[in-house]
A and B are shown apart, each in its own frame.
Chain A
């Protein structure tokens, strides 16, 4: 069964600290993996997208890693800011013949406190 699991479910850190969010997936055949940031009540915003051959990608203070062998991904946030408070969602794309299908994780809720 295609699944995406994220941990932790929620996390609170102090402003300026770093944190790492985890995503494990059991998806086949794999197409790509992306991380989204979603503010409450708003649409998700893409942070990174990685294909099978990529093992790291950065977007400012966000760095995503991908280990296709262990089927794990992480999102590292450095020097956190109050505006980083949001839900971070891992999404894996499955190649299903002529169509692709997205498998969504439930997200990690991050709170950054001053």
Chain B
């Protein structure tokens, strides 16, 4: 039973570029949430996808967008990257709305 997987593991982008991060949920899970975790800080909720729609959103600008596919996998897109977007991006899946979330290993994004 595969857990939550994320790709890529890490990447380096230049300020102003765009990036797409990918997440495959744990088998049987239908809800995917994305978090941004800056170094030394706790995870900050970006948004949650359920049934291919954004169900909840945290306090992040429209540069952050996402998508959920029919197989429940999800993408996080960030446009016009800023230096401050450098962080560990975590994907978490669950069967219900936030109950018993399982986290992936994260994608380390560095913006130079």
Footprint of B on A, CB under 8 Å?
A: 32, 36, 41-46, 49, 89, 93, 99-102, 104-107
State in angstroms the CA–CA spacing of A32 and B43 once bound together: 18
In the complex, the answer to whether B99 meets A100 with C-beta atoms within 8 Å is: yes
Given contacts A99-B56, A107-B42, contact A44 B98 (CB under 8 A): no
Given contacts A41-B108, A42-B105, A43-B105, contact A89 B98 (CB under 8 A): no
In the complex, the answer to whether B99 meets A32 with C-beta atoms within 8 Å is: yes
Q: For chain A, what secondary structure do more than half of its interface residues adopt (helix, strand, loop), or is it mixed?
A: strand
In the complex, the answer to whether B106 meets A106 with C-beta atoms within 8 Å is: no
State in angstroms the CA–CA spacing of A89 and B4 once bound together: 19
Number of interface residues of B (CB under 8 A): 21
In the complex, the answer to whether B103 meets A93 with C-beta atoms within 8 Å is: no
In the complex, the answer to whether A105 meets B42 with C-beta atoms within 8 Å is: yes
Footprint of A on B, CB under 8 Å?
A: 4, 41-43, 45, 55-56, 88, 90, 92, 97-106, 108
In the complex, the answer to whether A42 meets B99 with C-beta atoms within 8 Å is: no
In the complex, the answer to whether A44 meets B56 with C-beta atoms within 8 Å is: no
State in angstroms the CA–CA spacing of A9 and B97 once bound together: 29
In the complex, the answer to whether A43 meets B106 with C-beta atoms within 8 Å is: yes
Contact partner of B103 (CB less than 8 A), chosen from A32, A41, A43, A99, is A43
Q: List 17 A-B contacts (CB under 8 A).
A: A32-B99, A41-B88, A42-B105, A42-B106, A43-B90, A43-B92, A43-B106, A44-B43, A45-B103, A49-B100, A93-B99, A99-B55, A99-B97, A100-B99, A104-B42, A106-B41, A106-B42
CB distance from B91 to the nearest CB of A (A): 8
| Residue numbers in A under 8 Å from B98 (CB-CB) | 93, 100-102
A43 nearest in chain B by CB position = B103
CB distance from B60 to the nearest CB of A (A): 15
